[in-house]
A and B are shown apart, each in its own frame.
Chain A
Amino acid sequence: MKKHYTAPYIERNSAGNLNKYAHTTVVRHQDNIDGVPIKNLVEKYGTPLFVFSEKHIRRSYRRLLETIRIHYPKVEVVWSYKTNYLAAICNIFHQEGAAAEVVSRMEYEKARSNGIPGNRIYFNGPSKRKQDLQLAIQEGAYIHIDHLEELYLIENIADELAIKPKVAIRVNMDTGISPMWTRFGFNYENGEAYRTVQRLVSGGKIHLAGLHTHIGTFILDPNAYYWAATKLLNFAQTIKDNFGIVLEYIDMGGGFASSNTLIDQYTPGELASPSLDQYAEAIGAAFNASIYVKEHNPRLILETGRVLIDESGYLIASVLGKKNLPTGERAVILDAGVNINITAWWYKQRVLPTKPFPGTYQNTVFYGPLCMNIDVIRSAMPFPDLYYGDTVIISPVGAYNVTQWMQFIEYRPNVCLINETGEVDVIRFREDLSDITSREFIPDHLRQI
């Protein structure tokens, strides 16, 4: 009988460069998602294939809500559409009780088509057009004002429709982190936010219902939320004292980090990213120390999408080929690239084989199918031998990919959802040529070639 084969490997011996986190170099494998064998999913739906776990989504939502409630009970976690607006995914959150947070007309219409009434929609974003605002105001949505032109526009619409729109002022501020996000809303420290409220109140046409901030994305320092909440609550107190307005809610936006690891981050994400409890404690500490909160008990709103969905999404890809790089590293070409997994540019995602492999590992770079050098899913990581037709599973990919994916030279693939009883549904079907051509028009003189 022939001997068992593993690919030949040579490694230079060196001492002193042990990983301080003592990460094991053994590459685990993952052959199922929620008990559904990956082999079956691949046979039935092909690759590349996005797979979402309903069980994990619901568990994440409940865990976030429960964790925040320990620190501040009057909380509402709304679903941030831009993170993932597949209707089935949105509806899981809506079934759990989440309202919708949208940032554009398209997202607004999507939320309405999912059955969310206007008065359960929070409309953020810097680019609301007049007709968008008219529709949203008519339907009773909360408008989060980003700039003064928007404020004037809302006043005009209020006159036209004879409605007093419900709004929040978007506030940006220094929370001790870098970069400081200053492009959304009005600055707190230089008094711009205060002057905006002054202007809004003097107009007398708009109902100021809340304050909103979005301090950034993938925030690794929970204290930033303490400072943001403290500043917003102080501002709410000032508004109460100077204008007699009691705000309904304080919206802390999003930005909680998932367990992904940023490209330039040395510490692995599962160690570096704060726990939900740390975020909750930071926000809770600010709320519970606030006199405004004791007197008026405002609703705390969170719109943090990534932490709710990132770990619930997987991408299964097949090996199309492999090659040897001049550096001595191995390159593997997958059928899924940054065209559908755009967050591979931000994170060192986990790539795992879908079956156990014996033997040693080689530094392997994972490329996608695009004709571009930047189509790298994962830079060199130790990985067992892969051959044509083998599959790998990439995660976490649940946030931002099925919204920011590009239709570039490839069709976008099937997206599946594994429900709580282990049944699988396709929640977005693989595209075909008609998806690409249906919006095109060929002028008469170009029809003959």
Chain B
Amino acid sequence: MNTEQLMTLAVNKNGFVFDPENGISYTVNETGLFILQKLQSGVTKEEIIDFLTEEYEVTAKNAESDLDHFMAMLKALNLIEE
């Protein structure tokens, strides 16, 4: 997975995300922000799932499915590449 584009994003603590390369901005919710920050710090998918289940009221199975979906959204927005 290529997260190069992700690394350039400016992410504020309220979930406002700005891409300085093209001026596009995004909004993420709290969990999305949590994952985005973890991805930017180079954490693996498995570790993110562990972080999510430690921090939030969610099962590993549901967290994994939601994380997969979030990654698909990031991919659809061209923020990550396979």
Contacts and interface: CB of A to CB of B under 8 A. Distances in A.
A321 to B, nearest CB: 9
Contacts of A447: none
B57 A8 contact: no
Nearest to B18: A13
Given A10-B17, A10-B27, A10-B32, A5 B69 contact: no
Given A3-B55, A12-B24, A324 B68 contact: yes
A326 B69 CA distance: 9
A249 B36 CA distance: 70
B26 A12 contact: yes
Contacts of A22: none
B77 A8 contact: no
A11 B27 contact: yes
Interface string B26-64: 111111101110000000000000001011111000100
B57 A3 contact: yes
A327 interface: yes
Contacts of B28: 8-11
A362 B39 CA distance: 21
Nearest to B66: A7
Chain A's interface: helix, strand, loop or mixed, by majority? loop
Given A4-B57, A5-B58, A360 B72 contact: no
A322 interface: yes
Contacts of B10: none
B26 A8 contact: no
Size category of the binding interface on chain A: 20 to 34
Contacts of A6: 29-31
A15 B70 CA distance: 23
B47 to A, nearest CB: 15
A10 B69 contact: no
A211 B74 CA distance: 62
Given A2-B56, A9-B31, A359-B29, A326 B72 contact: yes
Interface in A410-432: none
B66 A11 contact: no
Most chain B CB within a 10 A radius of its CB, from A9, A11, A362: A9
B66 A360 contact: no
Given A328-B72, A328-B73, A328-B76, A8 B62 contact: no
A325 B75 CA distance: 11
Given A3-B57, A324-B72, A8 B32 contact: yes
A303 interface: no
Interface string A319-351: 000101111101000000000000000000000
A2 B59 CA distance: 12
Contacts of A311: none
A310 interface: no
A387 interface: yes
B75 A328 contact: yes
Most chain A CB within a 10 A radius of its CB, from B34, B35, B56: B56
A9 B32 contact: yes
